[in-house]
Structure 1
């Protein structure tokens, strides 16, 4: 259980950092980079969640 919580905390921290960097890139005129960073943040949140749920269903 502790491992799952640590992994979840790491994933959330990573997503927050990526979103903040995307906001920074967008404010500095790099819209395509900001969109790419938002998509990467979404993937960093969805993929581990999907793997976790698929492992629970086995």
Structure 2
């Protein structure tokens, strides 16, 4: 199961959309929509949600 709390914390963090995009390949537009509430975390594909949750783990366990 994907930890959506990790994704929420990532989106609230100081890490820029550009850095997340460069490190994960996740589109800046989609990140912006998530950060501004236009898209809900629950509406992400499993692939994209997994990508963001793994990125959270990488930056917090490095």
Q: Please say which structure displays the higher CA radius of gyration.
A: 1
Which structure has greater helix proportion? 1
TM-score by length of 2: 0.36
Question: Taking CA–CA contacts closer than 8 Å with sequence separation of 6 or more, which of the two structures ends up with the larger relative contact order?
Answer: 2
